[in-house]
Amino acid sequence: DIQMTQSPSSLSASVGDRVTITCRASQSISRNLNWYQQKPGKAPKLLIYATSSLQSGVPSRFSGSGSGTDFTLTLSSLQPEDFATYYCQQTYRTPCSFGQGTKLEIK
């Protein structure tokens, strides 16, 4: 199975900050990488698919980049509603697999 490792595991930031979350795959996954946002007690929400494609309705302050084994999710200017946990997911090979999550907290 492909292992996904996110860093950092947690992050404190302020409204308006620019934040980057990193995801590394244990082998090349081309650009088959998604990002989800999850708030407490809620189902995950797909933000970005195929590394950099923004899901419909997701604000443009979210962006993704990378290829191969290294990927990033960037939030250009944090809003209060962005404080949540973020997961990367590889869809290159079955079983799909997730990073352990990055909890973004208010500083």
Q: Contacting other proteins (CB under 8 A), which of 16, 81, 95, 107?
A: 95
Q: Classify residue 69 by its DSSP letter.
A: T
- Minimum Å distance from CB 18 to other proteins? 25
CA distance linking residue 80 with residue 102, whole number of Å: 16
Contact flag: residue 44 with other proteins (CB under 8 A): yes
Using the contact rule CB under 8 A, the part of the chain among 17-25, 41-49, 59-67, 68-76 near other proteins is 41-49
Contact flag: residue 97 with other proteins (CB under 8 A): yes
Q: Classify residue 72 by its DSSP letter.
A: E
State the residues that interact with other proteins by CB under 8 A: 1, 34, 36, 43-44, 46, 49, 55, 87, 89, 91, 94-101
